[in-house]
Amino acid sequence: MARYTGPVCRLCRREGMKLYLKGEKCYTDKCPFDRRPYAPGQHGQRRRKLTQYGIQLRAKQTVKRIYGILERQFERYVEKAMRKAGDTRENLIQLLEARLDNVVYRMGFAISRRQARQLVNHGHFLVNGKKVDIPGYLLRPNDVVEVREKSRDLEVIKKAIELNKERNTVPWIEVDFDNYRGTFLRYPSLEEVTDLPVDLQTVIEFYSR
């Protein structure tokens, strides 16, 4: 299955909520969702009552789209979360939050996860001093992520830092913008990830059918 390359604002409209996939644009009056807060397509404005399966499917699609993950990869994360001891929801969110592209975004070196994934793909980041260009690379506690020396003058990274400098980072990540680096201190708890707009239990139920 190929990665979705169409207009990402359609994804927000399809899920009926802002997924903040375009970064700063999502906070302005130019956001297409604010102007057309209904599903795309000819019948987008029709209201449909979702079945239980439909609710679970939409929850799963929402999480996938927020983190920019394809179906098979997301399925593997859920399977891995189910096999681990403890709360499956917390296991899943920890796997998603430990992805390198997500951590780059959380640190503030990109304005969206989509942009972070592209920057990682192009080899602009080091993990513990070694170049890593795999967006889905899973970090471990105390791993250090930094912008490569020759990439520090990139306009997109400078702009992201400027936008994010005054914003509070999440408590499981420490950032040093002056030295273009940050540390993934620990895995977050389920309660700490407050910006996820769906109940992960619904996602787990979808895969438990």
Which residue ranges form the domains of the chain, and what is each CATH number? 9-95+196-207 (1.10.1050.10), 99-184 (3.10.290.10)
- Rounded mean pLDDT, 159-164: 94
* Residue 193 CB-density burial (10 A; 0-12 exposed, 13-18 middle, 19+ buried): middle
pLDDT single digits (tens) 7-36: 665 665 555 665 666 566 655 666 665 666
- Rounded CA gap, 171 and 168, in Å? 9
Write down the mean pLDDT value for the chain. 87
Q: 5 or 167, which is more confident?
A: 167
Residue type, 116: A
Q: 122 or 28, which is more confident?
A: 122
CA of residue 78 relative to chain centroid, distance: 16
**DSSP type of residue 188:** P
Q: Which of 103, 153, 148 is nearest to 130 (CA)?
A: 148
- Rounded CA gap, 144 and 190, in Å? 23
CA distances from 131 to 12, 46, 197 (A): 33, 49, 33
Specify the pTM.
0.79
Whether 65 and 16 have beta carbons less than 8 Å apart is answered as no
pLDDT score for 106: 97
Give yes or no for residue 195 having a pLDDT over 50: yes
**DSSP type of residue 25:** G
Which residues does 128 contact at the CB level (< 8 Å), separation at least 6? Answer: 143, 144
